[in-house]
Amino acid sequence: MKGPMMADGRGGPGSRLRDMTAKHERPQDTGKTIARIFSYWKEHWSWLVIMLVSSLCEVFCTLMAPILIGKAIDNCIDLSNMTVDFTKLNVIVIMLLMLYISSSWFSWVQQYGMTNVSLKIAKKIRTQMMDKMLEQDIHFYDEHTRGDLMSRFTNDVELMKSGLGDSFIQLFNTIFTLAGTVVAMVALSPSLTVVCCMSIPVVFMMTNIISKQTRKFFSSQQVSLGQLNGLVEESVSGIKMVRSFGIEQQQIDKFNSINEELRKSGVKAQIYSGLLMPLMRVLENIIYIIVAVLGGIMATSTDMTVFGIGIATITVGTIQSFLLYTKQFLRPINQVASQFNAVQSAIAGAERIFTILDTKPTITNKPDAVTLKEETVKGDIVFDHVSFGYEPGKLILKDISFTAKQDEVIAIVGTTGAGKTTIINLLTRFYDINSGSIKVDGIDIRDITKESLRDQMGIVLQVPFLFSDTVNYNVSYGWSSATQEEIINASKAANAHNFIERLPQGYDSEILRGGENISNGQKQLLTIARAILVETPILVFDEATSNIDTRTEILIQKAINNLTKGRTSFVIAHRLSTIKNADKILVMHEGRIAEQGKHEELLAKKGRYFEIYNSQFVVD
C-alpha cells in the first residue's frame, strides 16, 4: 500500500481532535521521565565509566588547588616580615599549573564522551520515532498536525539531546565536587563548614518552588511551538489556496495568536526559571561574606567560643583555602541553576517524545494472523453487513454488503460524504470496522497480517503523490528491485513513456517536491505506472481521473483498462462516463448502498443512479 488515504464523510473531526490534543496535553511524572532518559545509557556503559573516572580525576585536581594555594600563603609568605620563599612558591606554582591543565583535560574527555553518546542516543530516538510514526494507524495522523509531529521529531529531540549532555555532566560533577569539597572543608574548619551547609536546605526549597511553575510553562511552550510549526507547514503547503481565497491576513492573524501564546509561555517560563540564578548568587555572596568575617575573627582571636563551644583558630592560608572551597561548594549548585532552563526544556521535550513512542497502534496483527501470498491470492472480496464510524455514535457506513470477484471491476459512485472512500479505507484496514466482516478469499481481513493484506493492493489516489527523486525511483517505489526494462514496460502500459522520454534526463529526471515540475495528468500516469509495476491482485482507483483534462483522461482510462485485466478492481468515480463498462456499480447514499448493478440495469430502474447520471448529462 503506497501513501496515506484521506477518509470522506467525517465532517472534519481531525481538526477538532488536533485542537483537543494540543490543549489538554499534560506533563508526565518527572522522575519517571528522567529515569527513562538515562535508561538509554545502558548500552554506553563503557563511556559512562570513562566519564565517571574523568569526573573523579577532575574533582581531585579541583580540590587540591585550594589546599596548595593555602600552603603557598602559609609556608611561602612571611606576613610579619613581608618576605617570600620563591623556591617553595615556584614548586607550588608548577604543581598548580599541572593540576589546572589536568583538570581541563579531564573536563574535555567528559565533554567529548557526553557529546559522542548524546548524539548516538539522539540518533536512536529519531530512529525509534520514525519507526513508531510509520507503524501508526491513519487516525493517529488525524489527531496530530504534521507541524506538531515535526516539532517533536526535531526541536524536542534536540532539546532532549542538549539537556541530556549538560545535565549528565553536571550530575557527576555536582555529586563528586560536593562530596569532596565538604570533606576538605570539614578537615579545614568544621565550624565554618556548618555555616556553609546551612545554605543547602534553602537552595532545595527555592528550586522546588520555582520548578513547579517552570515545568508547566516549558511544557506549554513546546505545545505552542508544535502548533506554530503546524500552521506554518499548512500555510506554505497550501500557499496557492491561501492566495486564491485572499486569506493571507486570516493566516497572519492565526499565526500571531499562536505566536503570542508561545511568547507568553516562554516569558513566564523564563521569568520563573530566571529567578533561580540571581537568588543563588545572592545566597553565594551572603555565605561568602559570613565565612570571610567569621574566618577573620577566628584568625585574629586566640580564645573564641560559641554557645560555650570552643572554636579553634585558623591561619590566613586556611581562610583563603576555605573561601575558595566556599565558591566550589556553591558552584555546582549554581551550575545546576544555570542549566535549569535547558533541563526543564529537555524534560518537557522528552515527555512529548515519549508520548509518541508510547502510542500503540490500535490496528494490530493477531498472534495467529495469516500471511497472504500474492501468487495464491485470487482477490474475491466480500463485505458482509459492515457498519463503521470514525467517531463513536456517528456511523458513516450502515449495513454494507456486496461481493467482488477476480477480474471484476466494481465502481463506487455517490455524492460527497456518502462513504465511498471509507469503503476503501476499511478494505485496506486503515480503520477497523465496528460490526460485520470483510473477507478476502474467504478469510476475515482481521485474521490477516495488515502488511501482507496491503501488499496485495495497488492504489492510485485522486491526488497523486510523488517523492523528490528521479522518475525511476517514483515508478519503482513499490518494487525497488525492478529492472530498467520492467520500469519502462510499466510506463508504456500506463501511457507515460512518451512524456518521460521528453523530460531533460528521461527516466533519470528529478521530480521536484510533490511533482511540481510536471502536470497533474503526468503525475497520475506515473502513479498508474507504479501500480502496474507491482502487479497486485487487487487494485483501487480513487477518482484517478477527476482532476485532469479530457485528452489525458483518455490515456489514463486506457491505462486503467490494461491494468484491471485479471484483477479485482475498485473504481471510485464522479464522472459516470468512465465506469459505464464496470461489472458492478455500487450507488452510495447516506452511508448505505442505495442501488447496485450494471450501468444499463441501473438506468432502467430510474432511481438514484439515474438521477446522478442525468444531472451530469445536463451539466455536460
What lies within 8 Å, CB to CB, of 43 at 6+ separation is none
Element (H, E) at 306: strand 304-306
Q: What CA–CA distance (Å, rounded) separates 349 from 125? A: 12
By the 8 A CB rule, do 255 and 235 touch? yes
The SS3 of residue 28 is coil
Percent of the chain that is helix, strand, coil (3-state, to 5): 65, 10, 25
Neighbours of 192 (CB within 10 A): 25
In sequence order, what DSSP letters do the residues of 109-160 get, joined into one string? HHHHHHHHHHHHHHHHHHHHHHHHHHHS-HHHHHHS-HHHHHHIIIIIHHHH
The whole-model pTM stands at: 0.66
Is beta strand 443-444 parallel, antiparallel or unpaired with respect to 309-311? Answer: unpaired
Neighbours of 248 (CB within 10 A): 12
Task: State the residue for C-alpha cell 456511523.
Answer: 395
Q: What CA–CA distance (Å, rounded) separates 295 from 301? A: 10
Question: Measuring CA to CA, how many Å separate 43 from each of 47, 51, 109, 121, 357?
Answer: 9, 15, 19, 10, 19
Phi (first) and psi of residue 400, to 5 degrees = -90, 125
Among the listed residues 21, 32, 12, 20, the one whose alpha carbon sits nearest the alpha carbon of residue 354: 32
Q: What CA–CA distance (Å, rounded) separates 497 from 573? A: 25
Give alpha helix (H) positions in 467-516: 471-475, 484-493, 497-501
Question: Measuring CA to CA, how many Å separate 603 from each of 314, 353, 576?
Answer: 110, 56, 12
Task: State the residue for C-alpha cell 478469499.
Answer: 441
Task: State the residue for C-alpha cell 493571507.
Answer: 248
- pLDDT for res 445: 92
The SS3 of residue 340 is helix
Question: Measuring CA to CA, how many Å separate 330 from each of 71, 253, 317?
Answer: 23, 47, 20
Q: What CA–CA distance (Å, rounded) separates 311 from 314? A: 9
Q: What CA–CA distance (Å, rounded) separates 207 from 338? A: 12
- pLDDT for res 438: 93
Using 50 as the pLDDT threshold, list the residues of the chain that sit under it: 1-27, 306-310, 619-620
Neighbours of 452 (CB within 10 A): 16
- pLDDT for res 313: 62
- Amino acid making up residue 201: P
Longest Cα pair distance anywhere in the chain, in angstroms? 124
Q: What CA–CA distance (Å, rounded) separates 614 from 620? A: 10
What is the torsion angle, in degrees rounded to the nearest 10, for the CA atoms of residue 425, residue 427, residue 428 and residue 430? Answer: 40
- pLDDT for res 6: 36
Among the listed residues 60, 55, 57, 64, the one whose alpha carbon sits nearest the alpha carbon of residue 321: 64
- pLDDT for res 584: 92
For the stretch 411-461, pLDDT in tens is 998 888 888 888 988 998 888 999 999 999 999 999 999 888 988 888 887
By the 8 A CB rule, do 386 and 591 touch? no
Q: What CA–CA distance (Å, rounded) separates 503 from 509? A: 6
Is beta strand 584-589 parallel, antiparallel or unpaired with respect to 409-414? Answer: parallel
- pLDDT for res 334: 60
Phi (first) and psi of residue 534, to 5 degrees = -80, -20
